[in-house]
């Protein structure tokens, strides 16, 4: 078999062999999340009612004759990856539904319908699962959305796979695209240190997202799930733009390293024109208890992200952290 395979491969050129191995013999961990998504995106369909597909926090669709647009998203929360076996069930529920609510919030939408598919071992105590559902119900009762069904399947460890929808006025969904040179970069809360408990206890910024949308000042928005560096890179996209972040501000949040790379903060990350910055900050801080953080600015550049200190500018390079895998 090995000899036959070698003979077959000898018929390929070096480039062909690299393509062969790269396409068919790479595992998910080697590829990383972004490449996996790019590969799978090729299977997605197109439809006249699909306004925004793969590549944003939610898909955006419009039914014929509808007076609103609808957003769709899903997320998984898995034992051993997103929470530990001894995590309080209510906190698991908060996180599981909170991850989906955060995506809806990043579009400036009102939460609507939610489904949850549960994978659990047959030995799991029923009271644990009821506690998880109680946690999900708490967040939905507070922020909006109704749990309407789901599925139950046996598996080796507890996993919660949630699907959620939301509604937003026509053409009003806030997307990752839209960043402009000179924009200010903002966060709805401090970043970094989520492993100390915030990744379980965060409050999805649904109210903040809707309020920000209604100002009409937001150019682009996402939530910080993979870390500031990664999610800001998503906002920059393929444009010839870069970003300069304040090392002083990031240091006040936690540490510069933690603010950039910890992830699972679930704060909203967005940009506005510089001219509305002071007014936005004043209005926002009158409405919400936790103030906005002004992180830096969007600059013309090659897509790089810099952290600027009082005495120097340091270019940050991705550490190659692979999310999820």
For 76, which DSSP code?
A: E
Query: What's the CATH fold of domain 50-169?
Result: 60s Ribosomal Protein L30; Chain: A; (3.30.1330)
Homologous superfamily (CATH) of 184-316 is: PurM-like C-terminal domain (3.90.650.10)
What is the pLDDT tens value at each position of the chain, 325 positions in all?
Answer: 444 444 444 454 444 544 444 555 578 888 888 888 888 888 988 888 889 988 889 999 999 999 999 999 999 999 999 999 999 999 999 999 999 999 999 999 999 999 999 999 999 999 999 999 999 999 999 999 999 999 999 999 999 999 999 999 999 999 999 999 999 999 999 999 999 999 999 999 999 999 999 999 999 999 999 999 999 999 998 788 999 999 999 999 999 999 999 999 999 999 999 999 999 999 999 999 999 999 999 998 776 899 998 877 777 766 645 454 4
* Count of alpha carbons within 13 angstroms of residue 28, beta-carbon side: 7
Confidence at residue 22, expressed as pLDDT on a 0 to 100 scale: 52
DSSP code per residue over 243-275: EEEEHHHHHHHS-HHHHHH------EEEEE-GG
**End-to-end Cα separation, the chain, in angstroms:** 32
Whether 184-316 and 50-169 are alike in CATH topology: the answer is no
Tell me how crowded residue 60 is: count the other CB atoms within 10 A of its CB. Answer: 23
* Domain extent listing, the chain: 50-169, 184-316
């Amino acid at each position: 078999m090995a000899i036959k395979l070698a003979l077959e491969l000898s018929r390929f050129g070096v480039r062909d062999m690299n393509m062969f191995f790269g396409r068919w013999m790479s595992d998910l961990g080697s590829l990383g999340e972004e490449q996996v998504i790019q590969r799978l995106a090729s299977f997605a369909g197109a439809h006249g009612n699909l306004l925004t597909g793969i590549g944003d926090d939610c898909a955006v669709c419009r039914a014929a004759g509808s007076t609103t647009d609808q957003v769709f998203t899903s997320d998984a929360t898995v034992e051993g990856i997103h929470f530990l076996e001894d995590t309080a069930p209510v906190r698991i529920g908060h996180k599981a539904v909170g991850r989906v609510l955060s995506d809806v919030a990043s579009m400036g939408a009102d939460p609507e319908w939610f489904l949850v598919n549960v994978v659990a071992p047959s030995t799991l105590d029923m009271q644990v699962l009821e506690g998880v559902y109680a946690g999900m119900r708490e967040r939905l009762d507070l922020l909006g959305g109704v749990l309407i069904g789901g599925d139950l399947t046996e598996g080796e460890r507890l996993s919660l796979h949630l699907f959620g929808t939301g509604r937003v006025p026509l053409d009003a969904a806030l997307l990752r695209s839209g960043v402009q040179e000179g924009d200010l970069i903002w966060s709805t809360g401090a970043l970094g240190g989520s492993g100390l408990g915030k990744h379980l206890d965060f409050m999805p910024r649904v109210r903040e997202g809707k309020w920000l949308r209604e100002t009409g000042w937001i150019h682009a928005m996402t939530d910080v799930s993979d870390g500031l560096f990664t999610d800001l890179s998503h906002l920059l996209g393929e444009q010839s733009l870069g970003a300069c972040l304040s090392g002083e501000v990031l240091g006040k949040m936690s540490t510069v390293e933690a603010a950039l790379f910890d992830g699972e903060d679930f704060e909203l990350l967005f940009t506005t024109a510089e001219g509305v910055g002071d007014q936005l900050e004043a209005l926002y801080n009158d409405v919400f208890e936790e103030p906005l953080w002004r992180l830096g600015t969007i600059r013309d550049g090659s897509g790089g992200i810099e952290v600027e200190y009082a005495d120097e500018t340091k270019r940050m390079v991705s550490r190659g952290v692979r999310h999820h895998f």
